[in-house]
Chains A and B, each alone.
Chain A
């Protein structure tokens, strides 16, 4: 009369194992919507956060923080795709994408940064690979070199006089 309940997670899996070829994506770690993780959280694979994480998050691959998700700690990742809220420093070794709903309170360090309109950042942004030199810095460096050169020349002269 009633349809047989198929809500049992273990049974579902046992009854209908789908071949791997149908899968489009592989995810190693998923933090569900109402799940709260406390402590240092590290993974070698991709991480998908939909809930709350209080503690450092480390991965060498892709970190995805979905809308509504919150992370209260520092993050280290290979690539990151942020749509949720982050309170802590964000160190991404390659590409960081901040979506419209993203909010970051902390410093950002990455190689490639993509920011969508509406994303909020409060903190320093540091990107490696910049080749523009600050003119003020070069002038002061030049002076310093000249001064030191002058000093060493005078010192050499004095030493020569003493020897004579």
Chain B
């Protein structure tokens, strides 16, 4: 049985046609199912566990990156197959997973090409795509083996899980770090100074890791899959092959 979790923004009139044609396509494939509309404060984990008890085998998230992160940050531990139908603006995760936007995603869903994905774990919740610590005076310890500090105290940290990270290393040379390689990648960028309109940063450092502790004397701002919070100490871990996901042929890993 399929259960579809719709984001609240899909109520807007501009998505009406896409939703209608998607539902028709799903019915054609014989994979239509129960529709649940998510609200801002809905705990997806409870809903999914409830639906699993009722016999749900596949949970499909319908929405954008924020919807995807909102559902899987809590529900990654649920033993069920996840699918994704990207609709609306801000869909970069779908591109990585090889899922086209809108109605075409139904074809990918019907093929059921399943892959187990690694997810990140930070202070009792999961993150799928990215974790971002905004520039702050932080101290980082990797895998209890080595620590990293910077001469210019403030550092920005980005931990990537699903999205590949590409940056230009000069001389027309791009450096790429592939996700889903059994490790999380941390991109660390020390702040070089303040400019007139924006802060200046140095080239990023990259460290693959399985466990990392980030601490600071004062609270720092953290954003995991679009959700912000303030912390003084966080432990980031890799949960290997945690979620089973339906992906497309053109996925980037």
Query: Do A and B bind?
Result: yes
A residues apposed to B, CB below 8 Å: 2, 5, 7, 9-10, 13-15, 17-20, 22-43, 45, 50-51, 55
Interchain CB contact under 8 A, A18 and B150: no
20 contacts between A and B (CB under 8 A): A7-B199, A7-B201, A9-B204, A13-B165, A14-B65, A14-B92, A17-B96, A18-B166, A22-B174, A23-B176, A25-B176, A27-B206, A32-B189, A32-B203, A32-B204, A35-B188, A36-B151, A39-B147, A40-B146, A43-B208
Counted as pairs of residues, one from A and one from B, with CB atoms less than 8 Å apart, the total is 121
Contact bitstring B164-204, A, C-beta under 8 A = 1, else 0: 11100100011111100000000111101000011111111
Residue of B nearest to A42 (CB): B145
CA distance in complex: A38, B145 (Å): 9
Q: B160 an interface residue at 8 Å Cβ cutoff?
A: yes
> Which residues of chain A are near B169, meaning CB under 8 Å?
25
Give the interface size bracket for B toward A. Answer: 35 or more
- Is residue B252 contacting chain A, with contact meaning CB distance below 8 A? yes
Residue B163 interfacial (CB < 8 Å): yes
Q: Which residue of B lies closest to A52 (CB)?
A: B151
Tell which of A19, A28, A38, A43 touches B252, judged by Cβ atoms closer than 8 Å. Answer: A19
Contact B176 A20 (CB under 8 A): yes
A96 vs chain B, min Cβ distance (A): 23
Give CA–CA (A35, B191) in the complex, Å. 11
Distance from B162 Cβ to chain A, minimum over Cβ atoms (Å): 10
Chain A residues whose CB sits within 8 angstroms of the CB of B163 once the complex forms: 13-14, 17
Chain B residues whose CB sits within 8 angstroms of the CB of A17 once the complex forms: 92, 95-96, 163-164, 166
Secondary structure call for the B interface: strand
Within the complex, what minimum Cβ distance (angstroms) separates B194 from chain A? 11
Q: Is B207 an interface residue (CB 8 A)?
A: yes
- Interface positions of B from 76 to 109, Cβ below 8 Å from A: 92, 95-96
| B205 interfacial contact with A, CB 8 Å | yes
What residues of A have a CB within 8 angstroms of the CB of B207 in the complex? 29
Known contacts A14-B163, A32-B203, A36-B149; is A27 also within 8 Å of B175 by CB?
A: yes
For the complex, give the distance between the alpha carbons of A41 and B209 in Å. 11
A41 touches B174 (CB 8 A): no
B21 on interface, CB distance cutoff 8 Å: no
B158 within 8 A of A: yes
Tell me the minimal C-beta distance from A56 to chain B in angstroms: 10
Cβ contact within 8 Å between A38 and B146: yes
Taking CB atoms, residues of chain A closer than 8 Å to B187 are: 9
Whether A38 contacts B147 by the Cβ 8 Å rule is yes
Q: Does the CB pair A23–B146 fall under 8 Å?
A: no
CB distance from A61 to the nearest CB of B (A): 13
**Extra contacts besides A29-B206, A32-B188 (4): CB < 8 Å:** A20-B178, A36-B148, A38-B149, A39-B145
Tell me the complex Cα distance, A15–B166, Å.
11
Are A13 and B158 in touch, CB under 8 angstroms? yes
